């Protein structure tokens, strides 16, 4: 195991592991000694002692390399694992320690496949930034974890043995401690740094960086009010924003801005840290457009910071919405160097009505929109994240009635808040 991997795995016996299996989140810990009668954590209590289990954690200190390899590792494993091998997501973290989260994959198979799997994992461990563990069930029902380690002065593998034990559910999802400037970017400079770091592997990043405004331009407050319309797809944003433009004589802008369209497909294929940085910078370009056009007319914006942050937060955290960072957490704060709108309106419709509208539109869905349709928990996390973001907070409007009624309701809000 490389030295930089070893340094990232410090305090190993203090780590807690989060296994996402069959849609459920299960936490377990490890200890160096067998202290006698200890309850075996689920799902290990349901495994058979003949089962062979393994975990791989991606441990590169280079955040860009780590993010890209995490996605590539999944593809590699799914191509080469034998049939019948169960595959799940696992992560490891130090409780309440920021930036200690390490992500990876968990495998479960029969003893007949163990030789093939261990050859694959051994090759990965020698050449890639991964930490590998195997898990074995004993006659007494206890399970042990064996951390693979390759001694520098000897041939062959050495292992460190730990006992698998139950762990308390942490007060917040471990991803919440790893989210700032990883999944959600709160400054122009932090998002820029990510694109600069991946410039040698993504040539398009340089083109995006050349388009960016200065920090001052992204913060300049316009003379006229700025109204942002937020909401999931098929909640009526396009119809409403165009009606507001015509009624108020306003300028309509969209985020991400049109100038980023040539590169969206490219960045949508990248790991979350790169993709999120790209869309965060799109908000700063839109902010520059707002400051320029807002000197002449009111501004209506179809999506802005709330969408970027809400989807990122909901994607980073798994499980029910109670796993989101608590209300008031810094992850819901508005970036200090980004122009703030005068009013943010969040359109909502019944989930079934939204699906019906999507079917009638017949348009291609983004991956996140497909996830909204198939994963109720993800949709609930997105909606809850929208409501928790402050600076300013969203004003919710039911978009189920006719387009004219929704328009009149939003116009009342704008006239009351923005005095238009």
CATH code of domain 176-418: 3.40.50.300
pLDDT of residue 171: 86
Q: Is the pTM of this model over 0.85?
A: yes
Tens digits of residue pLDDT in 96-107 = 888 889 999 999
186 vs 38, higher pLDDT: 186
**Residues of CATH 3.40.50.300 domain(s) within the chain?**
176-418
Backbone phi, then psi, for 160, in 5-degree steps? -110, 130
Backbone phi, then psi, for 261, in 5-degree steps? -55, -40
Strand locations in 156-225 (E): 157-166
Residue 308 Cα to chain centre, angstroms: 11
Contact in structure between 395 and 345 (CB atoms under 8 Å): yes
Closest CA to 129 of 56, 211, 32, 51: 56
3-state secondary structure of 270: coil
Q: How confident is the model at residue 186 (pLDDT cuts 50, 70, 90)?
A: very high
Backbone phi, then psi, for 232, in 5-degree steps? -70, 165
Tens digits of residue pLDDT in 369-386 = 556 655 788 889 999 999
- Tell me the percentage of the chain whose pLDDT exceeds 90: 66
Assess whether the previous peptide bond of 43 is cis (omega < 30° from 0).
yes
The yes-or-no verdict on residue 152 having pLDDT over 50 is: no
pLDDT of residue 158: 63
352 vs 72, higher pLDDT: 72
Closest CA to 89 of 55, 63, 47: 55
Contact in structure between 174 and 18 (CB atoms under 8 Å): yes
Backbone torsion region of residue 40, taken as left when φ is above 0, otherwise alpha when ψ lies between -120 and 50, otherwise beta: beta
Contact in structure between 82 and 128 (CB atoms under 8 Å): no
Q: Cα–Cα distance between 225 and 213 in angstroms, integer?
A: 21
Please provide the distance, in angstroms rounded to a whole number, between the alpha carbons at the two ends of the chain. 64
- 183's tokens: 């999944």
Q: Cα–Cα distance between 246 and 229 in angstroms, integer?
A: 15
Q: How confident is the model at residue 258 (pLDDT cuts 50, 70, 90)?
A: very high
Average pLDDT, whole number, for the chain? 89
Cα distances from 260 to residues 122, 285, 291, 297, in angstroms, run: 42, 9, 18, 24
Cα distances from 26 to residues 85, 172, 186, in angstroms, run: 19, 14, 31
Contact in structure between 16 and 93 (CB atoms under 8 Å): yes
- 65's tokens: 């390399």
The yes-or-no verdict on residue 90 having pLDDT over 90 is: yes
Tens digits of residue pLDDT in 307-344 = 999 999 999 998 888 899 999 899 999 999 999 999 99
Please provide the DSSP assignment of 338-352 as one string.
SPPPSEEEEEE--HH
pLDDT of residue 355: 73
- What pairs with residue 88 in β-bridges? 106
């Amino acid at each position: 195991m490389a030295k930089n991997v070893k340094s990232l795995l410090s305090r190993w016996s203090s780590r807690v592991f989060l296994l996402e299996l069959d849609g459920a989140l299960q936490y377990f810990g490890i200890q160096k000694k067998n202290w006698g009668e200890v309850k075996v954590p689920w799902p290990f209590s349901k495994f058979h002692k003949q089962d062979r289990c393994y975990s791989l954690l991606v441990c590169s200190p280079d955040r860009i390399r780590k993010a890209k390899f995490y996605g590539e590792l999944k593809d590699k494993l799914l191509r080469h694992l034998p049939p019948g091998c169960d595959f799940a997501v696992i992560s490891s973290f130090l409780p309440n320690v920021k930036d200690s989260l390490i992500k990876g994959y968990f495998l479960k198979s029969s003893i007949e496949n163990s030789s093939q799997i261990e050859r694959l994992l051994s090759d990965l461990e020698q050449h890639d930034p991964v930490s590998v563990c195997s898990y074995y069930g004993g006659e007494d029902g206890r399970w042990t974890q064996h951390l693979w380690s390759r001694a520098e002065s000897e041939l062959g593998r050495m292992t460190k043995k730990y006992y698998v034990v139950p762990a308390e559910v942490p007060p917040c999802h471990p991803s919440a401690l790893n989210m700032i400037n990883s999944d959600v970017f709160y400054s122009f400079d932090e998002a820029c740094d990510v694109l600069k770091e991946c410039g040698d592997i993504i040539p398009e990043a340089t083109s995006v960086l050349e388009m960016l405004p200065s920090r001052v331009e992204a913060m300049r407050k316009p003379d006229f009010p700025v109204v942002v319309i937020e909401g999931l797809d098929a909640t009526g944003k396009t119809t409403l924003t165009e009606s507001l433009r015509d009624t108020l004589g306003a300028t309509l802008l969209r985020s991400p801005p049109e100038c980023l369209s040539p590169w969206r497909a490219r960045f949508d294929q990248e790991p979350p840290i790169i993709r999120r940085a790209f869309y965060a910078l799109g908000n700063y370009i839109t902010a520059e457009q707002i400051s320029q056009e807002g000197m002449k007319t009111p501004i209506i914006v179809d999506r802005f910071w709330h969408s970027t942050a809400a989807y990122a937060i909901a994607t980073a955290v798994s499980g029910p919405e109670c796993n989101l960072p608590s209300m008031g957490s810094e992850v819901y704060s508005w970036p200090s160097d980004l122009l703030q709108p005068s009013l943010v309106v969040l359109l909502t419709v019944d989930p079934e009505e939204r699906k019906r509208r999507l079917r009638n539109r017949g348009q291609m869905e983004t991956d996140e929109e497909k996830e909204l349709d198939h994963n109720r928990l993800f949709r609930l996390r997105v909606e809850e994240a929208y409501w928790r973001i402050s600076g300013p907070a969203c004003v919710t409007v039911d978009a189920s009635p006719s387009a004219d009624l929704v328009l009149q309701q939003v116009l009342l809000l704008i006239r009351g808040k923005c005095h238009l």
